[in-house]
Structure 1
Amino acid sequence: MSLSARAEYQSYAATLESSSWSAISSKGSCELSHIIPYYGIATFVRRIDSDMVFFISTNREEARSGKAHISSYPTGWQSSQQVREVGSTRMSKGRRPFYIKGEMALRMLYELEEGMQPTFSYGDWANGKDQIKVTLSTVKFRDGLDEFLGCVAGLPPYEYDTVSDMVIFFASGSTGLSRMARAELDRLTQYLRYDPKVKSIMIAGHTDSDGEMDKNEVTARKRADTVERYLLDFGVDSSIITTDAFGERRPMESNLTPKGRAKNRRVSIELSK
């Protein structure tokens, strides 16, 4: 634990020596867990028929509900990186104060994969005045990531709703697939082997508003093409695939914030039967 000497500020995080990430793979479920000394256990979970989920189980009960802010901090060896704002989340009473699912859970996983450290900040549960920071260390994150992603890729996604409307996110300016994106696409290709009723796949590339509009159109097209090539390489029938690119013209969220821009750098995949 890293615990500040000042009474008004407490920080919980694994040290370089104590940090570890471990994966547990079972039929229909994949977990990736990280112990935060003196605080609790952080866990990413992916199950059949469900989105990515993240939660923290604490060593002591949260006495009240409220809100926490999530920021992603660079490590000491990432001097060129800046703090990224991830968003805010609700805190609940009890031993599982944080429960996040869907896009924000995926975003936190992406941040760790890029070497960043997602951090929760909130008022102390004892008096609401002191500030508490809880950090997910990126040290040894990849030790458990390979097994976790392998497990995710192997989940049998039998339910159509779990893959019929997918979103793949991209780093700023990038047209390459992250490891998590590949794992998500692997789930899609596996599903398509089980369901011959899928008649069309619509792939649409998007960007944030950084840079010139014409270049963003090109980037969006390349992102869509990257996803299409990945599906074709895994044997998906080209006749059912349609691609399009919208550049910055169809944002999911405002481009005025880092969080919004991160959500706008994406490829959407829609299946139809």
Structure 2
Amino acid sequence: MPISLTHQCLEFSKRLLSMQTRKSLSSNAFLMPTILLMSLLCLSSAQALTFHPRMDQAKWLPDSHVLQCQLTQPIPSFGRAVFDSSAGQPLRFYLQSVSSAMSQGQALLQSEAPTWNPALATVNLGLVKVIQGETPINLDAALADQLLNELYLGKSPHFIRRSKHSEERPTEQLVDAEQARMMDSSIIKVGLSSVHFRAAYSQYLQCLEQLMPVGFEQLSRSRVHFEADQWQLNAKTMDWLNTIVRYVEADTEVKQLYIDGYTDDLRSGSYNSQLSKKRAEAVAAYLIEKGISAEQVTTRFHGERFPVASNKTAEGRSTNRRVTIRLDKLGAAISQR
């Protein structure tokens, strides 16, 4: 209920009370309870709209995969809170809501003491950005990690922001700590519960131990290098190819691998063509030996063509003696090298 309507509600209760003397009200078995009930409803309507799991509802859902670890809490009537660690990416936290009632701008982030342990101090963690869309709040690794610590201590982080339907002008949308404690129906609070957090967090940590250190972004276009006139794979190259094999086995969306061999320009064109072919075939053979389907692998060789550095220097030639491995999730036509 908007504040103006709340004030009207309370004024109506006062007028109704003044219409009767205290004596006559006390003898009216119906009117007095009605006035008291209206007053309570008016007061409750003025409080901030809070989305927070009840103790009997609160749950944390760990989701474990070699490519992604998530820790999720459903928030009734709002959406869900998610801690996400994906392969090769930093930890992030986000609130997801199909119909977020928060206005865009900045929200106050507080870590509050739970009702069963009021001795814990409430801490202001600063202001965070609120945007429009299904994920109105997104936090970076540092702040996400701080939220995990607060939850582990048994505290309840809250995001406090004015409603997008608030009558306040955009420049007045900021909610400070004092306003957050006031009864104000224009304020929205979205909170996390620490109930059952530690057990789920333990499973989340176990997932992190087996999470791949690199993801598709790092692996989708990678290179391995060779000594002059060589096509044999060294230990460093095999370690990297093992990482690619592990990733492809875990990510069923990867449909095709394109293997391209190259050389420097110190030898003849025909020699370089055959050398680049041997390099590409050596990489492809190793991947297939380790479990990649031969049907997924396309091998090409280009000799000294398409250099990525100058062949006039030793460093440039070393860079050009390479095989590139490209992972394609769509299995579409070959794109640029």
With the shorter chain as reference, the TM-score category is 0.5 to 0.7
Could you report, residue by residue, the CA deviation over 1:170-229 in whole angstroms, capped at 9, with x for unpaired residues? xxxxxxxxxxxxxxxxxxxxxxxx89xxxxxxxxxxxxxxxxxxxxxxxxxxxxxxxxxx
Matching residue within 56, 74, 81 for 1:35: 74
Give the conservation status (yes or no) of the 8 Å contact 1:62–1:93. no
Give the conservation status (yes or no) of the 8 Å contact 1:63–1:94. no
* Aligned mates of 1:62, 1:72 — CA distance in 2: 21
Question: Are the structure 2 counterparts of residues 123 and 63 from structure 1 closer, same or farther at C-alpha, using a change threshold of 3 Å?
Answer: closer
* Aligned mates of 1:99, 1:74 — CA distance in 2: 23
Deviation at residue 140 of structure 1 after TM alignment: 1.1
Q: Residue type of the partner of 1:30?
A: C
* Aligned mates of 2:205, 2:111 — CA distance in 1: 21
Give the secondary-structure state (helix, strand or coil) at the position aligned to 1:147.
Answer: helix
Deviation at residue 63 of structure 1 after TM alignment: 7.2
Partner of 2:245: none
Deviation at residue 10 of structure 1 after TM alignment: 0.8
Give the conservation status (yes or no) of the 8 Å contact 2:102–2:130. no
Partner of 1:176: none
Deviation at residue 76 of structure 1 after TM alignment: 2.2
Give the conservation status (yes or no) of the 8 Å contact 1:20–1:35. yes
Does residue 1:148 correspond to 2:204, yes or no? Answer: yes
Partner of 2:91: 52
**RMSD value, Cα:** 2.2
Tell me how many residue pairs correspond in the alignment.
159
Give the conservation status (yes or no) of the 8 Å contact 2:103–2:161. no
Q: Residue type of the partner of 2:187?
A: Q
Give the secondary-structure state (helix, strand or coil) at the position aligned to 1:15.
Answer: coil
Could you report, residue by residue, the CA deviation over 1:90-121 in whole angstroms, capped at 9, with x for unpaired residues? 00011110011110010001100111111100
* Aligned mates of 1:41, 1:134 — CA distance in 2: 10
* Aligned mates of 1:63, 1:139 — CA distance in 2: 25
* Aligned mates of 1:125, 1:63 — CA distance in 2: 5
* Aligned mates of 1:58, 1:158 — CA distance in 2: 29
What are the equivalent positions in structure 2 for 1:128-167 lying under 5 Å apart?
129=168, 130-158=186-214
Does residue 1:20 correspond to 2:59, yes or no? Answer: yes
Deviation at residue 27 of structure 1 after TM alignment: 2.2
Question: Are the structure 2 counterparts of residues 14 and 47 from structure 1 closer, same or farther at C-alpha, using a change threshold of 3 Å?
Answer: same
Percent identical among aligned pairs is 23
Gaps of 5+ in 2: 1-42, 169-185, 219-238, 241-337
Deviation at residue 127 of structure 1 after TM alignment: 1.9
Give the conservation status (yes or no) of the 8 Å contact 2:102–2:163. no
Deviation at residue 77 of structure 1 after TM alignment: 2.7
Question: Are the structure 2 counterparts of residues 28 and 117 from structure 1 closer, same or farther at C-alpha, using a change threshold of 3 Å?
Answer: same
Q: Residue type of the partner of 1:34?
A: Q
Partner of 2:166: 127
Deviation at residue 7 of structure 1 after TM alignment: 3.6
Gaps of 5+ in 1: 163-193, 196-273
**Greater Rg by CA:** 2
What are the equivalent positions in structure 2 for 1:258-269 lying under 5 Å apart?
none
Question: Are the structure 2 counterparts of residues 116 and 61 from structure 1 closer, same or farther at C-alpha, using a change threshold of 3 Å?
Answer: closer
Q: Residue type of the partner of 1:133?
A: K
Q: Residue type of the partner of 1:126?
A: H
Deviation at residue 8 of structure 1 after TM alignment: 5.0
Q: Which structure: greater helix fraction? A: 2
Partner of 2:117: 78
TM-score by length of 2: 0.44
* Aligned mates of 2:99, 2:82 — CA distance in 1: 17
